[in-house]
Amino acid sequence: MNESDDPIAAMEWLLDRFEDDSDVAYAEVGAVSQSKTDLVFTEDGPRDEVEFDETGVWCRVFADGAADYRYTTSLDEEALTDVAERAVRGGKFLAQTDPARFDQFTAHRAVHDGWAADRIDDVSLETKRSAVEEGLAAADDLDLERRWVNYADAHVEETAGTTTGSTVRTTLDRANVKLSLSIRDGPTVRRHAGSTRGAAFLDELSDAFEAVAVDARTLSQADAVDAPTGETTVVLSPRAAGQLFAFVSRYLEADTCEMGLSPYDVGDEIGPDSLSVADTVRAGSWAARGYDAELRPTTPVQLVENGTVTRRLHNTATGAEADVFPAGNAVHSLGFGQAPRIHARHLEVDPGDASSAALRDGADVLVERFDEPWLRDELERVQRSGVMPASALYARDIDRKTNERSDRGCAELPVAEGYRLRDGERAGRVEGVSVVYEPTTLHGVTAIGDVRDTVTGVDEKHKSQIPYAVTAPGLRLRAALRAEQ
């Protein structure tokens, strides 16, 4: 192949290379063309503005039953040869104990044009900048020590193929904004908003910024008060409940289970009969894609039904081991720079029948938002934050080398935005306290709200940046609160 900027030609070259390699059992290769925008704003106004195009190819290669993942923006033959050789060596080097099994017979051919009516890259940089600046005006009256906003978008065109004959072409218009408002002599309010609806996301920015400003204003006007500790009646807002369920869903990922870090098995009672959770693909959601990294169509999965775990999240290899058809949960990392991971897409938690007033009646603390959880088990902390191979079944080898983990599934969720409640009303903000999560915590749910909201964000799993979304109702539960050390 001659030096070229054509990622599809590079993809086809790599597929031919892997098909002719007797050491390669199976490979996936994707050609990616992206048009990106990245804007940063501080209290001094626009700071960084970048628009750029990027082409590249990614590949996940199985050799000797293990896998290696690579992504490169260098598309000449010398660079691709180096990527191919490193990928094959990387898979063989891992010496995974149990080889992965694949469906050698089903060939997927499909096109998915995404959910955007208008491409995000057709909108000018000036229009995007103005939309953010107009949204930020909602916080002009706040006494802020620091303000930081990152707006980013990408129009992605991807064609992917496998050595078993599958071919899928997808288009994705993904945009998001991360906002941080540090109140002077007070807490910091952080929010994330994103969608795959393309240019339509810009119309949502004003409402997103206004909601953040309202929350920051309410926090800034509340005096800090002491929080109760020990067993307490806690109310989680839909946003905080969404963060909680995003955390819990990590224990339903097949590779986390294979690693011996999940306290839940299929058939376990995880919560009350009123609790049901599904992983879905909501059109236009920040975390939605039509096909996953293994070229599988993304379809809904019922994870919890009537309080019982009914299924785990699988990719093709773990699904074959469990005799479960994969539902498209091999999720690409943002930007394709890191390996895809087994992960939830858009969690949907069924609403209950309790009003907001009923949830708060007699409760002690209202949590509006959590910070990142602190995991009690050291091995779990290390494994979640460390680099993992691109083969999920490698996790099983880690489990073989470790003992039973008594603290697995135990964490502390720091309260980032919370209030003391008296007679159902806010009576000052609470600081320096965490909600203790244990495998039985959801059994303490006593009421589920009738109003839902959606929280979005980016989850780091083994260095991969995975988009997630959760639509959840508020919760009322008995849980332990612990003062931070």
DSSP SS3 for 93: helix
In this structure, are residues 330 and 461 in contact, taking their beta carbons and an 8 Å threshold? no
* Residue 331 CB-density burial (10 A; 0-12 exposed, 13-18 middle, 19+ buried): buried
State the sign of the Cα–Cα–Cα–Cα dihedral 358, 412, 428, 141.
Answer: negative
* Residue 456 CB-density burial (10 A; 0-12 exposed, 13-18 middle, 19+ buried): buried
Location of structure tokens 């896998």: 67
Q: Which ranges in the chain are annotated with CATH 3.30.2290.10?
A: 7-220
Instruction: Name the amino acid, one letter, at 472.
Output: A
Residue pLDDT tens, the chain, 485 long: 444 579 999 999 999 999 999 989 889 999 999 999 999 999 999 999 999 999 999 999 988 767 899 999 999 999 999 999 999 988 776 666 666 666 666 777 889 999 999 999 999 999 999 999 999 999 999 999 999 999 999 999 999 999 999 999 999 999 999 999 999 988 899 999 999 999 999 999 999 999 999 999 999 999 999 999 999 999 999 999 999 999 999 999 999 998 889 999 999 999 999 999 999 999 999 999 999 999 999 999 999 999 999 999 999 889 988 899 899 999 999 999 999 999 999 999 999 999 999 999 999 999 999 999 999 998 889 888 888 888 877 777 777 767 777 788 999 999 999 999 999 999 999 999 999 999 999 999 999 999 999 999 999 999 999 999 999 999 999 999 999 87
**Class of the CATH-defined domain 7-220:** alpha beta
Location of structure tokens 């589920």: 448
Closest CA to 466 of 300, 316, 327, 346: 346
In this structure, are residues 394 and 62 in contact, taking their beta carbons and an 8 Å threshold? no
In this structure, are residues 201 and 288 in contact, taking their beta carbons and an 8 Å threshold? no
Distance CA 286, CA 155 (A): 13
Report which DSSP code applies to 385. H
Report which DSSP code applies to 350. P
Instruction: Name the amino acid, one letter, at 83.
Output: V
How many angstroms separate the first and last alpha carbons of the chain?
60
DSSP SS3 for 128: helix
Backbone angles phi, psi at 232, to 5 degrees: -145, 150
Q: Could you tell me the two tokens for 205?
A: 């920015």
In this structure, are residues 316 and 294 in contact, taking their beta carbons and an 8 Å threshold? yes
Location of structure tokens 């963060």: 243
Backbone angles phi, psi at 449, to 5 degrees: -70, 160
State the sign of the Cα–Cα–Cα–Cα dihedral 406, 239, 468, 351.
Answer: positive
